[in-house]
Structure 1
Amino acid sequence: MVWTWRYEKADGSAVTSSLGQEEFAGQGDAETWIGETWKQLAEEGVDTAVLLEDGAKVYAMSLHEG
């Protein structure tokens, strides 16, 4: 299984990050990575990060504090 993040603007359109597209062996690794990089992603214009398992949506989370 491959875990990845998809980055979106508030309207659902795709956003490309300077961090590239990481692939993770497990959900925990993916969640640790987003926890370390979410502020940079938000500064790049990402509003929502969507966790994907083999391309299927697991959940979406806002990158805005509050």
Structure 2
Amino acid sequence: MRSVELSAMDISCNHCKNTIENGITGIAGVSSVEVDIEAKRVTVVFDEYRAKTDTVLAEMAELGYPAEVIAG
């Protein structure tokens, strides 16, 4: 399993949190998603053989929350 921490400056509310968690959890291989609204960060744990960081970043952008990797 791999963990990656993302920064997404457009996160501002619980709706954002729910949209991101539901969208990213739908990616095959993702086991958990944690959104910190205050810090504007998203932590994603996934099976690196089934999902890729680029896939997570693309889904974040598709959901309307462009992000960048800050750790992992």
Short-chain TM bin: 0.3 to 0.5
TM-score, normalised relative to structure 2: 0.37
TM-score, normalised relative to structure 1: 0.39
Higher relative contact order at CA 8 Å, sep ≥6: structure 1 or structure 2?
2
Larger helix percent: 2
